[in-house]
Amino acid sequence: MGSELDRRVGRLQPGDHLCLIYEGSDACAAALAPFFESGLERGLRCLLLGGREELAALERALAAAGVRLAGYADRGALVLLEGSPGPAPSARGAGETLDLLRQAEQQALDDGFAGLMVAGALVPAAERGLAQGEALLGRFLAGSRTIGLCLCDRSRLTPAALTAALRAHRLTAVGGEVCPSAFAEPPELVLGHGALAAPEARLRWMLAEMHQAAAVERRRDELACRLVEQQGALDRADRVRDDFLSMLAHELRNPLGTISNAIQVLRLHGQGNEVFERAIAAAERQVRHQAGLVDDLLEASRVARGLVELRREPLDLVALLRELASEHRGAFARARLRLSLDLPEARLNVRGDRLRLSQAVSNLLRNAIKFTPAGGRVALAARAVDGRAVITVRDNGAGISAADLPHVFDVFAQSDHSLDRSKGGLGVGLAVAKGLVELHGGELIAASPGPGLGAELTVRLPLAPASDLRLTTPVAPSHFHQFAHHGSARSH
């Protein structure tokens, strides 16, 4: 059933009455596991009435989910009672089931539990008996401290019996989802007595249900309109942000040139003065650092606004990656990191912009350098898989948390939000790399086992047709060095 059932089960309250329609014991256990996990976490006693096959499948599912079966069973929190397999024991009627549930609930409360969660085929299987039994059960549950999950095996129940079950449950778990049942009726209608049994009362109930459905539809339309408005506002905000970043980068870049020229003038007049030269050198380093940040802003703005134009040509990715590795050897040595290569002997032919692909991979390598401690390892690999060139940059560094992983390529994404961030940077390097890779018709994905366990960034690019073998001569690394930005967006 997965996360949808997990969310719904977490919101169940005492008195709720849920129906599970399934096929096979494994499917039943997959739905029951989150049901009982939720009850155990909330301090309820969990009781399953089922056949040996169903009990064994549930035990396997709970154990796979990490539930300590022995501990819960020892203190009576988890009770698995084996009965005859199938819809329900034929000798037990609805009245006996209700008596059993009353006793089980009272015993759970007396033993200090917050209530009872019970699952099983709780009523007789005959079509009329099933409808009436479920209605009686629903009426009992409404004023109880018990949550009930009725199990309906499609292979053992007739369509008429399943239809009767749908009439008695407002919520039904089927096909991997929890669905409100449009066919549910109050117990009085199913039982054929009480205030709602009269034709006029039944008509009023049906009209009320129709009005409620119409109100839900109106609410859904209102929410849809609001979402459209909010999406428009977000799109406008994104455009304003991108325009602001572009303007800010240009405004910051202009004075940096003037400052750099002034520093050169001061250097000419300060030759021979050691203190003066150290101060000038420090100022130059800061100017270069600020210029790099401004360049990152400009590049992120260009990519986000779709202003990057590619100059495609036939390329051999293997040769390009070897050049980049050579270009970054010095940076890896200064960081005391080991860079290993796993590249094929054969060419990996693509059509792309040499400078932009170099920039994207350089950002990945710099990102690995930034987040891998001294003594660590970084591996650069490439291969052909199913008509695509696959490039991976793997490190054994800081890793990425599960919470940060979905946002690792967001512009300005940083997991360290303190003012004294040791890694620095604006958090745009991976965002720029992803944008450039996607412009080439490829994709960039990130994976990590978790914090402290390293990360792997994978680029997939379409290979060029076999007929396109005219590869240009690689240019020297210095020609594209200016495009290898230092920004990084890994969310560690």
Question: pLDDT by residue (tens digit) across 157-182?
Answer: 888 878 877 877 888 877 667 777 77
3-197 adopts what CATH topology? Rossmann fold (3.40.50)
Determine the Cα–Cα distance for residues 123 and 365; give it in Å rounded to an integer: 64
Q: Which CATH architecture has domain 217-304?
A: Orthogonal Bundle (1.10)
Mean pLDDT confidence for 131-143: 79
* Residues linked to residue 380 through DSSP beta bridges, in sequence order: 341, 393
Residue 168: closest CA among 132, 204, 198 = 132
Mean pLDDT confidence for 80-91: 52
Determine the Cα–Cα distance for residues 452 and 397; give it in Å rounded to an integer: 6
φ, ψ at 412 (rounded to 5°):
70, 15
Instruction: Give the DSSP H/E element, type plus range, for residue 172.
Output: strand 171-174
Mean pLDDT confidence for 215-227: 88
In terms of pLDDT, which residue wins out, 200 or 474?
A: 200
Q: Which CATH architecture has domain 313-483?
A: 2-Layer Sandwich (3.30)
Contact 400, 492 (CB under 8 A): yes
Q: How far is C-alpha 269 from the geometric centre of its chain's CA atoms?
A: 59
The model's pTM is 0.48
Q: How far is C-alpha 411 from the geometric centre of its chain's CA atoms?
A: 18
φ, ψ at 42 (rounded to 5°):
-95, 10
* Same-fold call for 217-304 versus 313-483: no
Q: Which residues contact 167 (CB under 8 A, 6 or more apart)?
A: 131, 134, 183, 184, 185, 190
**Per-domain residue ranges of the chain:** 3-197, 217-304, 313-483
Give the pLDDT score at 13: 85
Using alpha carbons only, what angle is made at residue 218 by residues 215 and 220, rounded to the nearest 5 degrees? 110
User: Which of 55-69, 73-87, 136-150, 455-469 has the weakest average pLDDT?
Assistant: 73-87
pLDDT-above-70 percentage for the chain: 78
SS3 call for 474? coil
pLDDT at residue 471 above 70? no
Contact 389, 454 (CB under 8 A): no
